Amino acid sequence: MQDKLKVLLIDDHPLMRRGIKQLVELDDNFEVVADVSSGTEGISVALQTSPDVIILDLNMKGLSGLDTLKGLRAEGIDARILILTVSDAKNDIYTLIDAGADGYLLKDTEPDTLLEQIKRIAQGEVILSDSIKNLLLERTHEDNPLDSLTDREMGVLRQIATGLSNKQIAAQLFISEETVKVHIRNLLRKLNVSFSCCSNGIIF
């Protein structure tokens, strides 16, 4: 029997924590090892429980979601981290990824979609929204943003345009999935893409 994926919830809203916990526990693939109300407690519990996936609220009282994210990575927590928030404010996607996030979704994401995306995150995928993909592919040529890309980065960008996952891109280009993720980070940084999430986030 395959081990369940251990999930840690960090959110300062009790009702939201309870709802997400109940949703996640409907899937036999997951086990919620803890749900906590603060970033400080979340870091401590993560060190004790070694979760596979952490679902983290961005806008929390006390230690913010971003600072919690940085704290988790500073402590060596290698869990996959999904930012789940009500905020649709534009943020620099590479700031979140550089801090260690593996996804960013709004809390109005459909339940079935959320469960599927948690699984994909656990498998090593990076979740980005439709708007991010569009911004990557629709930048005007006036600023010549593509001039700074390497041949390999251009290759990854072309694969992204076809909707392939990290794993599929790695297979197409004969590189590792981790290398694909590094190239995506570089693309986001070089193209200066702003991060605006939406409920129908896509994975690539």
pLDDT at 48: 97
Render 63-112 in DSSP notation, one character per residue.
S-HHHHHHHHHHTT---EEEEEES----EEHHHHHHHT--EEEETTS-HH
pLDDT at 197: 36
State the residue for tokens 């070694």: 50
pLDDT at 93: 60
pLDDT at 198: 35
Which residues contact residue 6 at a Cβ distance below 8 angstroms, ignoring those fewer than 6 apart?
30, 31, 33, 49, 50, 51, 52, 53
pLDDT at 2: 66
Architecture in CATH of 130-203: Orthogonal Bundle (1.10)
- Which among 115, 105, 108, 117 has a CA at the least distance from the CA of 195? 105
pLDDT at 194: 41
Please tell me the pTM assigned to this model. 0.68
Topology at the third CATH level for domain 5-128: Rossmann fold (3.40.50)
pLDDT digits (tens, 9 = 90+) for 35-68: 999 999 999 999 999 999 999 998 899 999 999 9
pLDDT at 117: 87
- The residue extents of the domains of the chain are 5-128, 130-203
Residues (pLDDT < 50) of the chain are: 139-142, 194-204
